[in-house]
Amino acid sequence: MVRIKNRYIVVRIVPEVPAKVLNFHDAVIAKCILNHVKKFYGDYGLGTVEQGFRVKYCNERTKVTIIRCLHRSHRVVTSTLPLITMIGDVRAKFHTLYTGATIIQCNKFIINHQQRFLDEMVGQIASAKERKEFIKRVMEFDLEQ
């Protein structure tokens, strides 16, 4: 039996107009990517990508998304992502952050990426009191609500 190899692509959605929360669902992002793959690679490209394609994770607050595709078609997806300018009805771009073989490695990358972002943001705050309040707000942030 042959093992099916997947690739996981971590992307950040950057809207043209900054917003705190983007109201994107997995299906909207998947449809957008597949439509652009068909536009740039035709029916053959869509057929190669469509088989194992799925948006596994989409966080509307951090604007980070994990996309799963087959090993043989991940280059088609990653070459199409920078060409997308509209997601649903919002002007936005995809920035590819990481491509990994397992979703566990992608989760580790996201944790490290968010930690670097938090360190950068805390470094820009001048007073110690504001730093403590900022860290407290971030640590109390619950994604399930």
- Give 142's pLDDT tier (boundaries 50, 70, 90): very low
Pairing of strands 64-70, 86-87: unpaired
Identify the structural domains of the chain with CATH numbers, from first to last.
6-140 (3.30.70.3250)
Give the model confidence (pLDDT) of 22-41 as tens digits: 778 889 999 999 999 999 99
Is residue 49 packed enough to be buried (19+ CB in 10 Å), middle (13-18) or exposed (0-12)? buried
Among 49-63, 68-82, 131-145, the range with the most confident prediction by mean pLDDT is 68-82
Residue 35 CA from chain centroid, whole number: 17
Whole-number percent of the chain with pLDDT over 70: 92
Q: Could you tell me if 40 and 64 are in contact, meaning their C-beta atoms sit under 8 angstroms apart?
A: no
pLDDT at 9 over 90: yes
Q: Is the pTM of this model over 0.85?
A: no
